[in-house]
């Protein structure tokens, strides 16, 4: 009998497993896929490593910081800062027609850019920064408000609003167009006030550390172990049934697979649940024969949009190339050049169309 | 355990919990909270490690006794004097 079963070996599931194992619990993580990582995974093809998801780790803080989310995370998981092999970004850019806002780690560059490009918004921008919810406020009453509504009260230039929303939505928007203000605050902080960095070996470095720590503590990790049902007794989760029919009992079940999917596994009919989110991405990863900088791509990430209005919504077509994120793992401030020659382009996509195409082929 | 061994044990736990901290300059009379920016979760981790490693139970209302190295050693001495050091 396990103390806790965890559904999903993404970063949340692995981190939760480590925390519980520190507290001497018998924990087993169940993962349907053949490998760990979930949305932040990786694969190897033709002798090359590719990351899925992770462009950069947000919430960058230099070594020695003790208070930010990165420091707290490291401490709670008992990892060393240097184990992550973090390299900070070289600089990023939000590119709309005729206006560009550059930003780096820490607010200074973005603040200066806003002052220069949107002088009449400079004071308002400061007010926006001051009014952001703190990390500890996330999920508290009062933050359940539309970010667009609140930001729209503080800033008056629609172009600046769209530009600031662009990276925030791309990096953290699971719903179309808007997000809840608490979530917006967290992302705004993590991207603009703190910043971006990358573990030199990519996301596998983070996952390797998490898996190693979890196993050292006696935790069990089962891959190819999809959960098809959560067993309830008297309304409380008592265990799970795996895809192959095996039943596993536990005092407690933690799920990291999303609220909707979790409720479905508890037996709630799909029709009684709100529809799943509509946001999907397609990313193309190009291996170039020159460093991306030689083609003019010097930045870590460029968030582009081809018109003054930013459409963060599911496209009718397979892909919406009007906006996206162009980024390169080469463009971080590494101790020695990366020479990966990789360029990634992420755009909004229509999941149903891709799924139908995959079925046909 | 002698008070010195208890001090070593606590240092050992701290270095596991905060592997990036240099503990050699720790002032025994100043609160951990101020020197290491520890939060309530970190204190819970110390309590848990003492329980795991030495079966010492510390009730929640007595957590404030763990504020600094001096107060921690003082608090633990009668409770750990019969426990051998690992
Ligand atoms: C395109 C893209 C780019 C991103 N870029 C970044 C970035 O640059 N930086 C950043 O910080 N974040 C980024 N993110 C966000 C980040 O990937 C996610 O926030 C993070 O991976 C979420 O982790 P999680 O563990 O909560 O969930 P997930 O990663 O979704 O993990 C859930 C796990 O549960 C498993 N699972 C599902 N159902 C079952 C079941 N029934 N039984 C067993 N297992 C199951 C899944 O296979 C999966 O492994 C990006 C996301 C996307 C989609």
**A258 CB under 6 A from ligand 1?**
no
Q: What is the DSSP string of A46-75?
A: TTEEEESS-S-BSS---TT--SSHHHHHHH
Residue of A323, A277, A314 whose CA lies nearest to A162: A323
Q: What is the mean pLDDT of chain A?
A: 95
Name the residue of chain B whose CA is nearest to A66's CA. Answer: B37
What's the CA-to-centroid distance between A314 and ligand 1, angstroms? Answer: 19
pLDDT confidence bin for A218, thresholds 50/70/90: very high
Cross-chain Cβ contact A75/B52 below 8 Å: no
| Percent share of chain A, pLDDT over 70 | 98
CA A352 to CA A266: how far, in whole Å?
25
Compute the distance from residue A259 Cα to the ligand 1 centre, in Å.
Answer: 13
In this predicted complex, what is the ipTM? Answer: 0.87
Structure tokens at A219: 């935790």
Q: How far is the CA of A227 from the centre of ligand 1 (A)?
A: 16
The CA distance from B23 to the nearest CA of chain A, in Å, is: 14
Q: A30, A11, A34, A8: which is closest to A250 by C-alpha?
A: A30
Choose the closest CB to B17 out of A24, A75, A81: A75
Q: Across the interface, do B37 and A78 touch by the CB < 8 Å criterion?
A: no
The response to whether residue A356 sits with its C-beta less than 6 Å from ligand 1 reads: no
Q: Does the CB atom of residue A40 touch ligand 1 within 6 A? A: yes
Centre a 10 Å sphere on the Cβ of residue A117 and count the other Cβ atoms it contains. Answer: 18
* B50 → chain A, closest CA residue: A23
Partner-chain residue, chosen from A22, A79, A80, that has the shortest CB–CB distance to B45: A22
pLDDT band at A139 (very low <50, low <70, confident <90, very high): low
Task: Measure Cα distances from A199 to A49, A204, A330 in Å.
Answer: 13, 9, 12
pLDDT 10s digits, A256-295: 999 999 999 999 998 999 888 899 999 999 999 999 999 9
Could you read off the pLDDT of B15-74 as tens digits, one per residue? 999 999 999 999 999 999 999 999 889 999 999 999 999 999 999 999 999 999 999 999
Min Cα distance B8 → chain A (Å) is 19
What percent of chain A is modeled with pLDDT above 90?
Answer: 89
- The model's confidence at residue B86, banded by pLDDT at 50, 70 and 90, is confident
CA B19 – CA A274 distance, rounded (Å): 44
Give dist(CA A301, CA B49) in Å, integer: 42
Q: For residues A196 and A59, what is the distance between their CA atoms, to the nearest angstrom?
A: 7
pLDDT tens digits for range A99-126: 999 999 999 999 999 999 999 999 999 9
Q: What is d(CA A106, CA A257) in angstroms, rounded to the nearest whole number?
A: 32
> Starting from the edge strand earliest in sequence, which strands make up the sheet with A27-30, in order?
A220-222, A27-30, A2-7, A247-255, A236-242, A227-233
**For ligand 1, what atom is nearest to the CA of residue A13?**
25
Contact list in B for residue A78 (CB cut-off 8 A) is 16-17, 19
Domains (ranges, CATH) in chain B? 3-80 (1.10.1200.10)
A-facing residues of B in 3-62 (CB < 8 A) are 16-20, 36-37, 39, 41-42, 45, 48, 51-52
Chains A and B: how many Cβ contacts under 8 Å? Answer: 25
Mean pLDDT in residue range A354-359? 90
Closest by CA to A167, choosing from A301, A335, A54, is A301
pLDDT at A22: 96
Which backbone phi and psi does A333 adopt, to 5 degrees? -85, 70
Q: Cβ–Cβ contacts within 10 Å for residue A225, how many?
A: 20
Ligand 1 pocket residue status of A257, Cβ below 6 Å? yes
Q: pLDDT of A47-102, one tens digit each?
A: 888 998 899 999 999 999 988 999 999 999 999 999 999 999 999 999 999 999 99
Report the DSSP pairing between strands A27-30 and A220-222.
parallel
Q: Which of A38, A170, A262, A323 to mutate to test the pocket of ligand 1 (most atoms within 8 A of CB)?
A: A38
Give the CA distances from residue A201 to residues A35, A186, A307, in Å, rounded to whole numbers and listed in that order.
17, 26, 36
pLDDT of residue A276: 86
pLDDT of residue A143: 60
CA-closest candidate to residue A177, choices A145, A148, A138: A148
Look-up: residue for tokens 């633990």? Answer: B76
Q: Is the CB of A28 under 6 A from ligand 1?
A: no
Ligand 1 neighbour A203 (Cβ under 6 A): no
Q: B42, A75: Cβ pair inside 8 Å? A: yes
Is residue A331 a contact partner of residue A90, using CB atoms and an 8 Å limit? Answer: yes
Q: Which atom of ligand 1 is nearest to the CA of A172?
A: 15
DSSP label of A261 = H
The two structure tokens encoding residue A173: 């928007």
Beta strands in A18-160 (DSSP E): 27-30, 42-45, 48-51, 86-88, 92-96, 99-103
């Amino acid at each position: 009998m396990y103390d806790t079963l965890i559904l999903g070996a993404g970063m949340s599931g692995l981190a939760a497993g480590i925390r519980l194992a520190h507290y001497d619990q018998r924990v087993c993580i169940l993962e349907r896929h053949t490998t760990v990582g979930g949305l932040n995974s990786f694969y190897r093809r033709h002798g090359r490593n590719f990351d899925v998801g992770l462009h950069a780790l947000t919430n960058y803080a230099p070594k020695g910081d003790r208070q930010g989310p990165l420091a707290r995370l490291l401490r709670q998981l008992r990892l060393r800062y240097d184990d992550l092999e973090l390299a900070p970004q070289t600089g990023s850019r939000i590119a709309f027609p005729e206006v560009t806002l550059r930003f780096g780690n820490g607010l200074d560059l973005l603040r200066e850019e806003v002052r220069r490009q949107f002088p009449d918004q400079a004071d308002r921008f400061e007010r926006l920064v001051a009014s952001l919810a703190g990390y500890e406020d996330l999920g508290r009453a009062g933050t359940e408000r539309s970010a667009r509504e609140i930001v729209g009260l503080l800033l008056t230039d629609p172009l600046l609003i769209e530009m600031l929303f662009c990276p925030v939505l791309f990096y953290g928007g699971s719903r179309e167009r808007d997000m809840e203000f608490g979530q917006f605050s967290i992302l705004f902080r993590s991207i603009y006030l703190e910043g971006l960095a990358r573990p030199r070996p990519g996301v596998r470095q983070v996952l390797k550390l998490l898996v190693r720590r979890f196993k050292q503590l006696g935790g069990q990790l089962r891959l190819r172990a999809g959960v098809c049902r959560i067993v309830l007794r008297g309304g409380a989760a008592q265990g799970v049934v795996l895809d192959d029919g095996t039943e596993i009992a536990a005092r407690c079940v933690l799920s990291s697979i999303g609220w909707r999917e979790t409720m479905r596994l508890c037996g709630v009919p799909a029709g009684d649940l709100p529809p799943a989110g509509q946001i999907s991405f397609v990313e193309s990863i190009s291996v170039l024969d020159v460093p991306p900088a030689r083609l003019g791509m010097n930045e870590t990430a460029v968030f582009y949009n081809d018109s003054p209005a930013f459409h963060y919504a599911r496209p009718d077509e397979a892909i919406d190339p009007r906006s996206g994120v162009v980024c390169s793992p080469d463009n971080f401030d590494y101790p020695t050049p990366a020479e990966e020659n990789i360029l990634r382009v992420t755009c909004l996509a229509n999941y149903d169309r891709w799924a139908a195409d995959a079925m046909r082929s | 355990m002698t008070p010195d061994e208890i001090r070593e044990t606590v240092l050992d736990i701290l270095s596991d919990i905060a592997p990036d901290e240099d503990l050699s300059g720790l002032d025994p009379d100043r609160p951990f909270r101020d020197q290491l920016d520890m939060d309530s979760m970190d204190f819970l981790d110390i309590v848990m490690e003492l329980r795991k490693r030495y079966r010492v139970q510390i009730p929640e209302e007595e957590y404030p006794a763990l504020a600094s190295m001096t107060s921690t050693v003082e608090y633990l001495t009668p409770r750990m004097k019969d426990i051998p050091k690992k």
